[in-house]
Structure 1
């Protein structure tokens, strides 16, 4: 397999506009995994990216990009543990807390207006999309306005990733499921962005996040066609999992090469399957070296979980002692001290 479909189901319980304990954040029922994807043509693993002018004023919007530093965090859901216990375990293992906490919400859920997060932690809100006409027809204006007002009430910077992986055919907001109309996606994104601005949600950093390869790999489904424009995007991101011995270059270089001179890069979903031995740790070490060589990468959210049914992978960073050691070394490096 070279592609997985995991999160994105509607929340089992909405988070209201009051402070909640970390263990009460929504959990999700994942859709069944898709069939293997046809990968995009890989770049050479030895290929060097173009030099990137980084650290320019305003990079990252409300969540500022820090030159030379990566904000490292995770979607964290460990079997048999509350969120608080899982966070405490990772802090003991790594000697540090998560800089980013990844949370998933359905489109009709109440986005949070208050979060009980450790000081200095930045939430990454992945907010499901809907078919394009549901938005462009004005049918969801009340939902969008409420979401904007709630996030504005957080009174802290927040990443918002709306309708991710739109260049795939597994979600109802994907272009292939909307008459192969990338412009419709762009119009929806700009519609939401304008409405959030009208509601004064100026603490929101907009994260446009693709899947690492286009599926189907058709001319009408190129990820670049879904880009809303520099004025509407603060960070560019992608989902890329090591499911078939892919190199970091294969997974992440197409996006990096396309946008790293224009926007900071956020690896919004990443994990590695365990193929035995030290394969999981080896991918983490390769990824750490990859990021060190690409200065425009400013944020990474690991998919650190072992709870997803219909997905036979243990994505935990401590799946074995070598993978935990590799992850700890990466998390302890100066590059990941953002």
Structure 2
């Protein structure tokens, strides 16, 4: 136990001494689609004007009838590695049933019904050998996902259910001696519903199960309305979006790095270019290690455009340290 504490403190001060003095902030992109090809990555680089450090992609689980179906994760991991970036797998325990999302129940996971799928997934992760980030069941504090339960059962029992699932997955990786996976705990900045049981701290699996703390949060501007999304949004800065959530995560762990795995700004309601420029400065002031931009136009026009490219080129053109050096330090 003491050895683990001293190791954690060593890693913290190693990262502080090596990276903090250089004011390093890594920049990544969250993208849709799977598998991830080299041509797709080059397209993203062209869109944002720089080469991203982290590629966040989304991967659903299979339904029980397709557990034994083959899948090729290595192809995407190799493409991202050769591109010079780190992979972050947003690993979603759900599948599509007639185009509808179907959440996998906790019992099916912790009672071993998906162990064959986990075995194949782990085989490919171990074969890859290089460090990756796994963001299992992200945004657990949003009823939109209700991980491990049916939607009408998302309630005060959900945090405990989530913890059981998260710990089962991490323990399964440890049992299979996976050395190159870093697990991220990643709530959304806003809890829905906003109730006492739905706070970050209630879902936290514990320090021995989490390597990286994460957050997802967006400036919706005036993009959302009762008419199109069922609620009204307003413009808010990066700092206003993330300050309190960062403080909540720091209450859970002072030493673990924080990565924003999804963020963006809408165009409606303010100046998106200025928002990005300030966001980079504010992320550094909040001691955030990396900021990943959601490069997909979905509910709003989230993507980096020509107007924002120069901001990224100016801020990230001369980075002294590589993301790969940082993540190798995390695994020591």
Same fold? TM cut 0.5: yes
Q: Among 170, 188, 207, which residue is 2:144 paired with?
A: 170
In the TM superposition, 1:168-207 aligns within 5 A as 168-173=142-147, 177-181=153-157, 182-207=159-184
Matched, 1:242 2:205: no
TM-score (norm. length: structure 1): 0.71
Hey, which bits of structure 1, 4+ residues long, moved more than 6 A?
A: none
Q: Is the 8 A contact 2:277 2:311 kept in 1?
A: yes
Look up the match of 1:267.
260
Give the Å deviation of 1:228.
0.6
Moved more, 143-152 or 265-274: 143-152
Check the 8 A contact 1:149/1:199 in 2, yes or no.
no
**Residues 1:121 and 2:85 are matched in the alignment:** yes
Structure 1 Cα separation of the partners of residues 267 and 87 of structure 2: 28
| Structure-2 separation of matches of 1:137 and 1:131 | 10
Counterpart contact for 2:294–2:302, Cα < 8 Å: yes
3-state secondary structure, aligned to 1:88: helix
Aligned to 1:325: 310
Q: Distance in 1 between matches of 2:244 and 2:125?
A: 31
Gapped runs of 5+ residues in structure 1? 1-54
| Whole-angstrom CA distance in 2 between matches of 1:219 and 1:280 | 33
CA contact (8 A) 2:41 2:83 kept: no
Aligned length: 269
C-alpha change, 1:223 and 1:333, in structure 2 (3 Å) is farther
Q: Decide whether aligned partners of structure 1 residues 305 and 220 sit closer, same or farther in structure 2, where only a CA change above 3 A counts.
A: same
Using the TM superposition, give the Cα deviation of residue 220 of structure 1 relative to its aligned residue in structure 2, in angstroms: 1.2
Q: Does the residue aligned with 1:240 lie in a helix, a strand or coil?
A: strand
Report deviation, 1:86: 5.0
Displacement of 1:330 in angstroms is 3.1
Choose the corresponding residue for 2:286, options 289, 294, 307.
294
Inter-CA distance 85–148: structure 2 relative to 1 (3 Å threshold): closer
| Residue 111 of structure 1: how far off its partner (Å) | 6.5
CA distance in 1, matches of 2:248, 2:320: 23
Q: CA RMSD in A?
A: 2.9
Quote how far apart the aligned CAs of 1:179 are: 4.1
Take 1:327 and 1:236, find their aligned partners in 2: how far apart are those partners?
24
Structure having the higher helix fraction is 2
Partner deviation per Cα, 1:251-288 (whole Å, 9 max, x = no partner): 21223212342310010001110026x61112101211
State the 1:250 CA deviation.
Answer: 2.5
TM-score, reference length from structure 2: 0.72
Q: How far, CA to CA, are the matches of 2:316 and 2:144 in structure 1?
A: 32
Whole-Å separation in 1 of the counterparts to 2:32 and 2:91? 18
What are the Cα deviations for residues 2-46 of structure 1, in whole angstroms up to 9, with x where unaligned? Answer: xxxxxxxxxxxxxxxxxxxxxxxxxxxxxxxxxxxxxxxxxxxxx
**1:205-244 alignment runs, 5 A limit:** 205-243=182-220, 244=234
1:290 Cα deviation (Å)? 0.4
Show the counterpart of 2:3. Answer: none
Q: Match for residue 53 of structure 2?
A: 99
The answer to whether the 8 A contact 1:189-1:228 is kept is: yes
- Does structure 2 retain, via aligned residues, the 8 Å contact 1:74–1:303? yes
Within 1, Cα distance between the matches of 2:285 and 2:25?
A: 12
Cα distance between partner residues in 2 of 1:76 and 1:105? 11
Alignment CA distance shift 1:96-1:326 (3 Å): closer
How many angstroms apart in 2 are the aligned matches of 1:111 and 1:195? 21
